[in-house]
Amino acid sequence: MRFGARLALAVTTLAVTATACGTPQDSGSRSRTTADCAPYARYGEHPGTTVTVYAENRDREADLFEETWADFADCTGIHVSYEGDGEFEARIQVRVEGGNAPDVAFFPQPGLLERFARDGRLKPASAGVAALARQGWSADWNSYATVDGTLYGTPLVANVKSFVWYSPTFFRDKGLTVPRTWSELMALTEKVAASGVKPWCAGIESAEATGWPVTDWIEDVLLRRQGTRVYDQWVAHEIPFDDPRVIDAMDTVGSLLKNDRYANGGFGPARSMASISFQEAGTPVLSGDCAMHRQASFYAGLWPDGTEIGPDKDVYAFLLPGADPASRPVLGGGVFTAAFADRPEVRA
């Protein structure tokens, strides 16, 4: 599971506020003033130091991360050396065991973070970091990086997983409306297929983590068909992984994603999704070669440059519906930051 902790939230929105100070620029092409660096004064100056950061985020996601800490690095003198790796979950364990741990890692699996904490590999969060985590995040979110009462990491990214992306123009031109129930979604799927367009596009390739988009699909359907109680029992291993209710969710997803009439729009037969990266999987929505792409809120940052998002823009999203339009639980996921080193620049 790409995001380890899954939050069965019986809410329809999840708002996350992120702040970034200043516009990143090439630090070699300008000089800094005291005013420019005022927001970073509390972190001190650490000229000539380097902090290594290791995560799974690559390409556009990696660029966005590096932009967010560019001014911080410029003002503190810390060189932040970032490495994105599609095989993060496997290789982080090899690196740590081999004595080559990064200073900081972004964990998409809280369970993996917990394992390193219990092995004594991670450094507990400082009092300052813990205070900021309590200020910025709820107790639930902070609990995922807390082991035996000690906070080892902080939430970095929060995502709503239950989005279905679509083109408002395509829907308008085809006379389609956003579905409010699962039965309406199935009727919409069939109507699009009958028009000669494959309704769904998908891609599940993600290096060593290949397959997680289908896992997300199954979790979302299970949540809608069986509710939060059964979902939580499944996550806690209180019911078998192959419980009949889980198999029903798998079969439901298979009826869409393994059906050549329904998938894989813009790419080929349904099985083509195994070789399509999750980053590019939604792009046929823009060309009208598929009608819908189920993917998390983070996909807003993966659309091609210039893509506008909104109810009358290039793309928009609706929540994957369930049986009851008045009850739409949301699947959530997150990424957590933790440190393997305790040097002053790492703490900063």
Beta carbons within 8 Å of 135's beta carbon, 6+ residues apart: none
CATH 3.90.1150.10, applies to 163-328: no
Given a cut of 50, the residues of the chain with pLDDT beneath it are 1-30
* SS3 at position 257: helix
- Share of the chain residues as helix, strand and coil, in percent rounded to the nearest 5: 40, 20, 40
Going by C-alpha positions, the residue among 335, 338, 347 that lies closest to residue 155 is 335
- Say what the pLDDT of residue 32 is: 63
- Say what the pLDDT of residue 208 is: 77
Domain 7-11+30-158+335-347 and domain 163-328 have a common topology: yes
- β pairing state of 49-55 and 290-294: unpaired
pTM of the shown model:
0.76
DSSP element (H, E) containing 70: helix 70-76
- Say what the pLDDT of residue 207 is: 80
CA separation for the pair 194, 188 (Å, rounded): 10
- Say what the pLDDT of residue 299 is: 95
Domain boundaries, the chain: 7-11+30-158+335-347, 163-328
Residues 20 and 67: beta-carbon distance below 8 Å: yes
- Say what the pLDDT of residue 9 is: 35
- Say what the pLDDT of residue 326 is: 85
The CATH classification of domain 7-11+30-158+335-347, taken from the options 3.40.190.10, 1.10.10.10, 3.40.120.10, 3.40.720.10: 3.40.190.10
